[in-house]
């Protein structure tokens, strides 16, 4: 507290320095950093005025930092984390990295043609260690072929401008798969049966599912019709693992918007939901198993059956 008191005394004597105006549309990374700092401050039982004094700034700047509208310099963030009782370790390092990440990447090429939420998702995926995805309607975006992606986007937004760029963006996002520790998807059987594009498009898409399932870090399960309504009830969602559990994110996409949720209780609820989906779904695809040796119905046999019906 002596450090906070000294900060208050210094703040009263400082001349206000010129600063960049607050940004009106912070990125998801910037919003999440601010939200995590607010959580830590609240847990440490410090007021906004206490933090303002520590940073030698006014109270409004603290509000802007916690809303992701302004950045906090490296030495300032270090002071905050120490004052909040955040010890050196994975979370401390991850928050420092988030603050000083410029947010630049391959997705910048699309900033003038795609919605901010799409760019935020690509940036978030670039920092993700593990992904768990559930889709009750179509094949997840990270597993789509180019033709299938084109058919999906066209079917949903036939008048969408920059359609080709949107498809290319979705395909480029798939590069993240190679760097993940694990990827686990549960897909409702309806996604295998729904005709997206022509027969050839669907055939190539189903074959790609089997091909991707050959990757050692990929687990693919199909939720069959006879599994009940739980898959439909659960809707579509993605759980993205952060560098620490505190920075895990739930992503839910809607027709005209998207949610990025960092609330631990909500993420825990969806984690339990995903675990129930995996328990009700068929056994994962095991591409090493020959079709004739499959004694019970599993995810691979269901995909192969859907392929057969396309003939």
Of 287, 309, 311, 310, nearest to 300 (Cα)?
Answer: 287
pLDDT at 254: 82
For each of the domains in the chain, give its residue range(s) and CATH number, in order of start. 2-100 (1.10.260.40), 121-309 (3.30.870)
Q: Is the pLDDT of residue 153 over 70?
A: yes
| Spatial CA neighbour of 16 closest among 58, 76, 67 | 58
Q: Give the CA radius of gyration of the chain.
A: 23
Residue 14 has pLDDT above 80, yes or no: no
d(CA 296, CA 285): 12
Task: Please state, for a pLDDT cut of 90, what percent of the chain lies above it.
Answer: 73
State the pLDDT at residue 91.
95
Report the predicted TM-score, pTM, of the whole model to 2 decimal places: 0.89
Q: What is the mean pLDDT of the chain?
A: 89
The residue-averaged pLDDT of 171-184 equals 96
Asked if residue 68 has pLDDT above 70, the reply is yes
What's the confidence (pLDDT) of residue 289? 65
pLDDT band at 74 (very low <50, low <70, confident <90, very high): confident
pLDDT digits (tens, 9 = 90+) for 178-237: 999 999 999 999 999 999 999 999 999 999 999 999 999 999 999 999 999 999 889 999
pLDDT at 100 over 90: no
Buried/exposed 139-148: b ≥16 CB within 10 Å, e otherwise? bbbbbbbebb
20 or 217, greater pLDDT = 217
Assign 292 a pLDDT band (cuts: 50, 70, 90). Answer: low
What's the confidence (pLDDT) of residue 102?
A: 79
Question: For the residues 26-48, what does the mean pLDDT come to?
Answer: 94
Q: How much is the average pLDDT of 49-73?
A: 90
Distance (Å, rounded) from C-alpha 188 to C-alpha 1?
Answer: 55
Residue 287 confidence (pLDDT) above 70: no
The predicted pLDDT at position 257 comes to 81
Reported as a pLDDT band with limits 50, 70 and 90, residue 294 is: low
pLDDT tens string 133-151: 999 999 999 999 999 999 9
* Residue 98: pLDDT over 50: yes
Query: Largest Cα–Cα distance in the chain?
Result: 81
């Amino acid at each position: 507290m002596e450090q906070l008191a000294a900060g208050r005394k210094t703040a009263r004597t400082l001349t206000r320095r010129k600063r960049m105006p607050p940004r009106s549309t912070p990125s998801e990374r910037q919003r999440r950093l601010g939200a995590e700092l607010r959580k830590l401050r609240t847990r440490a039982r410090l007021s906004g005025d206490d933090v303002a004094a520590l940073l030698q700034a006014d109270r409004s700047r603290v509000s802007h930092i916690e809303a992701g509208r302004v950045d906090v310099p490296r030495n300032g963030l270090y002071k905050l984390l120490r004052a909040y009782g955040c010890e050196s370790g994975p979370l401390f390092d991850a928050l420092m990295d988030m603050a000083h990440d410029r947010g630049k990447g391959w997705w910048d090429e699309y900033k003038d043609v795609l919605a901010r939420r799409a760019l935020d998702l690509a940036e978030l995926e670039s920092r993700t260690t593990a992904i768990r995805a559930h889709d009750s309607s179509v094949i997840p975006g990270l597993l789509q072929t180019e033709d299938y992606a084109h058919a999906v986007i066209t079917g949903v937004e036939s008048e969408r401008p920059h359609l080709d760029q949107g498809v290319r963006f979705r395909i480029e996002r798939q590069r993240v798969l190679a760097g993940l520790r694990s990827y686990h998807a549960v897909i409702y059987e309806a996604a295998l049966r729904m005709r997206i594009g022509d027969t050839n498009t669907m055939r190539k898409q189903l074959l790609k599912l089997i091909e991707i399932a050959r990757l050692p870090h990929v687990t693919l399960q199909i939720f069959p019709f006879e599994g009940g309504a739980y898959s439909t009830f659960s809707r579509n969602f993605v759980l993205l693992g952060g560098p620490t559990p505190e920075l895990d994110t739930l992503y839910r996409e809607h027709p005209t918007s998207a949610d990025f949720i960092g609330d631990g209780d909500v993420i825990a609820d969806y984690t339990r939901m995903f675990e129930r989906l995996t328990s009700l779904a068929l056994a994962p695809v095991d591409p090493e198993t020959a079709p004739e040796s499959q004694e019970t119905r599993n995810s691979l046999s269901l995909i192969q059956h859907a392929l057969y019906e396309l003939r």
